[in-house]
Amino acid sequence: MDQDSSIRCNGTLCVADKNVRYQFPKGVTVGAINKSCTYGDATFSVDWDGTNCPSGIGAVTFGSGNVASGKSSSDSSISGGQENKARGTESSVSGGYSSISGGEINKARGTESSVSGGYGNDASGN
């Protein structure tokens, strides 16, 4: 990279200048690309095994084997889990096998348990 670059690299680690905003019109995928997915514009995906498909405009996927094909990330998104589909406008999946969507001092310890919010909740069943 040239000396005036806003990204500095040292070996295998690169750090962006904290005063620079980056724009990615097509999208960002962290991890593997799903070769059978037609990615939408302005998408974001965290995909460790190449099975997520954020095909909607502004769609967001996290997890594995998830499809978000609705119109925008606030309307169609998946924030975790496996093999979920949020296909319609204003649809979402907000959990994983054990997940907490908000609140404070909550625990989701059981298999496929979830807490949607609140304070001091414990979802520990199977």
pLDDT given for residue 46 in this prediction: 93
pTM of the model as a whole: 0.68
Q: Which residue has the tokens 């889990």?
A: 81
What confidence tier does 85 reach under pLDDT thresholds 50, 70, 90?
confident
pLDDT given for residue 109 in this prediction: 73
pLDDT at 3 over 60: no
Measure the CA–CA gap between 118 and 125, rounded to whole angstroms: 18
Measure the CA–CA gap between 123 and 104, rounded to whole angstroms: 13
pLDDT given for residue 19 in this prediction: 93
Average pLDDT over the chain, rounded to an integer: 80
